[in-house]
A and B are shown apart, each in its own frame.
Chain A
Amino acid sequence: MTPIPFQRALETHRDDVWRYLRGMVGAQAAEDCFQETFLAALRAYPRLRPDSNVRAWLLTIAHRKAIDHVRRHREVPLSAAPPGASMDAEPSDPAIWSAVAALPPRQRASVLLRYACDLPHREIASALGCSEPAARRSLHEGLKRLRETL
Chain B
Amino acid sequence: MTDPIHTALRAPVPQAAAASRRLAERIAAEGRADFYYATVASPLGDLLLIASRRGLARLRYPDGDSDSALEELAVRRSPRIIESAAATDPWRREIDEYFAGTRRRFEAPLDWQEITGFRRRVLRATVAVPYGEASDYKSIAGAAGSPAGARAAGNALGANPLPIVIPCHRVLHRDGGLGGYTGGLDRKRVLLALEGAVR
Contacts and interface: CB of A to CB of B under 8 A. Distances in A.
Interface stretch (A59-67, A89-97, A125-133): A89-97
A3 B16 contact: no
B66 to A, nearest CB: 11
A35 to B, nearest CB: 5
Among B9, B32, B33, residue most surrounded by chain A Cβ atoms (within 10 Å): B9
Q: How large is the interface on A (under 10, 10 to 19, 20 to 34, 35 or more residues)?
A: 35 or more
B134 interface: no
Contacts of A116: 9-10
A19 interface: yes
Contacts of B20: 10-11, 14, 38
Main secondary structure of the interface of A (DSSP, over half): helix
B5 A143 contact: yes
Interface string B4-33: 111111111101110110111011000011
Contacts of A27: 15
Interface in A127-150: 143, 146, 150
Interface of A: 2-8, 10-11, 14-15, 17-19, 22-23, 27, 30-31, 34-35, 38-39, 42-43, 45-46, 91-93, 96-97, 100, 111-112, 115-116, 118, 143, 146, 150
Interface of B: 3-13, 15-17, 19-20, 22-24, 26-27, 32-33, 37, 67, 70-71, 73-75, 78-83
